[in-house]
Amino acid sequence: MIFRQQIGFLVLLFLSGCMVGPKYEKPSVKLPDKYAEQHQAGSQGDLARWWAAFEDPCLSILIEKAIKNNFDLRIATEKIEEARAFYRIQDAKLYPDIDAIGKITRNGISKNLTQSASLKESTLNYFQAGFDTLWEIDFWGKLRRSKQAAYNELQAQVEAMRDVYIILLGDIAKAYIDSRTLQKKIDLLNQKIALSTKLISLTDDRFYAGVDNQRADLEQQEELCELRNQLLILQTTFRQTVNKLALLLGEYPERFELAPGDHVVPQYKKNLGIGLPSELLRRRPDIRRAEKLLAAATERVGQAIADWFPSFSLLGLVDFEANKGSKWFSSNSFSWSIGPSVRWPIITFGRIQFNIDEKKSIQKQAFLAYGQAVVKALGDVENSLVAYFNGQKEVAVLCEKLLVATRKSDLAYEVFCSGLVNEIDFLLAEKNRLTIEAELTSAEQAASVALVSMYKALGGEW
């Protein structure tokens, strides 16, 4: 009866055991009410499938392929399964270990060890089969803290996968924008090369006619060489950018080609919802990951502190033992044992305290990393906002500049057609228009890339 009460008492300790160590509380962070560069409003839903607002079917197809095939994303997803398996291992430690045991031995006994002449046999057989169990009673919460820490690490790995997802989508969009931009710049440069080639023909005629000296002709030839060199650079960069797209899609670069499409810079067709700075704590996976790692580090501190206290276990054994095989499983061979055990470290030469100090240092690092993630997130958003809004202003200015250059080119053409000036003036005006259009293309590229960066900085929408 007393033994049963002892067992019940141990079970009660397990069910209502205390938890030593610090209790985790989510850090309180005070964020600004709004962004310094917040010039527009938008709902949170605007972040869902943000790339669809470019209204570019090719971009949407590339992103869908990348989500399925990108190796970094697939590896990050598999790491979640690894973390989930580790969590289940820690959960299983809360329950008893039950092992099947079996042994058959034949021992020879030294005759010089015998103390009685009646001991005639010098050999002994031993047969054993049964089950034994070990159940560590989690009185101080060590195992439960280990389980909770593993769960937080699992959640941190989920957030790490989401971070990879967000970065992947941003990289795909940027590479695609860069590719279309390069295609348009190559088209504009080919037009300038054609104009320069025609200008050289006209300056040649003027030189040989004695109307002008050779300097103008040489300057045009020098410019043509420079334009051809720029074309080679753009073509190389375009091929490298397409190869980068292939790698992001998990495809072989030599087999991948960018789908046909208009050689224009993709433009966002609606305003992007920015929201409030406080929403970053929910949106940004890197912040959520840092918070989960901080929670896990706090649990590890409590787990280390529990080593100071005694550990209680419940041992059990049920088996059949005999010295002859014919008697192995008879009722007289049955044996059993059950009872508690305790282990309490007394002299560890500072090992436990040093382990606690290490875990506390890791906790402090996790806390600082969380604060750093919040500050970095705010900085990312502010940088992307100022780049996007100023980029939009630059695009507007260059559009106006291109409009003026186009009017000048049209006017030069009209004057040329009326016979008042030669064709060279018109060709030079047209080259100037192409130069400004290339500047506008670069500005449109920068604005679109800044918007993609804004999406990444805001943390996306799940």
Segment 75-111, tens digit of pLDDT: 999 999 999 999 999 999 999 999 999 999 988 777 6
Over residues 366-373, the mean pLDDT reads: 95
Q: Is the pLDDT of residue 341 over 70?
A: yes
Tell me whether residue 119 is in a domain: no
What angle do the packed helices 71-92 and 142-208 form, to 10 degrees? 170
Confidence check: pLDDT of 70 > 60: yes
Q: What is the pLDDT of residue 44?
A: 47
What does the pLDDT look like over 133-174, one tens digit per residue?
988 888 888 999 999 999 999 999 999 999 999 999 999 999
Percent of the chain with pLDDT over 90: 49
pLDDT at 113: 60
Is the pLDDT score of 354 beyond 90? yes
Residue with tokens 């033992």: 321
Answer whether residue 203 is part of any domain: yes
List, in sequence order, the alpha helices (H) in 249-350. 280-283, 285-305
Q: What is the pLDDT of residue 397?
A: 96
- Is 117 a member of any domain? no
CA distance 72 to 75: 5
Task: Find the helix or strand (DSSP H, E) in which 411 lies.
Answer: helix 351-417
* Mean pLDDT confidence for 21-32: 86
In a domain, 36, yes or no: yes
CATH classification at residue 273 = 1.20.1600.10
* Mean pLDDT over the full length of the chain: 86
Structure confidence by residue, pLDDT tens digits, 380-395: 988 988 998 899 999 9
Gap between the Cα atoms of 452 and 171, Å rounded? 9
pLDDT band of 49, cuts 50, 70, 90: confident
Q: How confident is the model at residue 217 (pLDDT cuts 50, 70, 90)?
A: low
Return the closest-CA partner of residue 227 out of 429, 401, 438, 445: 438
Q: How confident is the model at residue 268 (pLDDT cuts 50, 70, 90)?
A: confident
Integer angstrom CA distances of residue 409 from 189, 195, 257, 323, 434: 17, 13, 36, 111, 10
Say if residues 166 and 342 touch (Cβ distance below 8 Å). no
Tokens of 410: 């049209």
> In 3D, which of 147, 137, 145 has the Cα closest to residue 15?
137
Q: Average pLDDT, stretch 293-301?
A: 96
Percentage above 70 pLDDT, the chain: 87
Q: What's the mean pLDDT in 61-73?
A: 94
Single-letter residue type at 371: G
* C-alpha to C-alpha distances, 290 to 23, 56, 245, nearest whole angstrom: 17, 35, 30
Contact by Cβ (8 Å): 363, 297: yes
pLDDT at residue number 1: 46
Q: 133: burial class by Cβ within 10 Å (0-12, 13-18, 19+)?
A: middle
**334 falls within a domain:** yes
Average pLDDT, stretch 67-81?
95
pLDDT level of residue 212 (50, 70, 90 thresholds): low
What confidence tier does 420 reach under pLDDT thresholds 50, 70, 90?
Answer: low
Report residue 42's pLDDT band, with 50, 70 and 90 as the boundaries: very low
Tokens describing residue 318: 């049920």
Check: CB of residue 87 under 8 Å from CB of residue 154. Answer: yes
pLDDT at 43 over 50: no
At 461, the pLDDT band (50, 70, 90 cuts) reads low
Q: Do the domain assignments include residue 306?
A: yes
Judge whether residue 121 has pLDDT over 70: no
Euclidean distance between CA atoms 129 and 334, whole angstroms: 10
- At 228 the pLDDT is 93
Q: Do the domain assignments include residue 114?
A: no
Domain-embedded: residue 347: yes
| Total structural domains within the chain | 1
Q: Which of 283, 86, 78 is nearest to 161 (CA)?
A: 78
| Position 291 pLDDT exceeds 90 | yes
Do 314 and 10 touch, CB atoms closer than 8 A?
yes
pLDDT score of 238:
95
What tokens does 183 get?
């295609």
Residue with the larger pLDDT of the pair 43 and 72: 72
Please state, in angstroms and rounded to a whole number, the distance separating the CA atoms of residues 373 and 370. Answer: 5
Q: Which two tokens stand for residue 225?
A: 């060489």
- pLDDT of 40 reads 54
Q: Which domain holds residue 403?
A: 2-108+124-458
Residue 303 is predicted with a pLDDT of 93
Residue 210 has pLDDT above 50, yes or no: yes
The reported pLDDT for the residue numbered 193 is 92
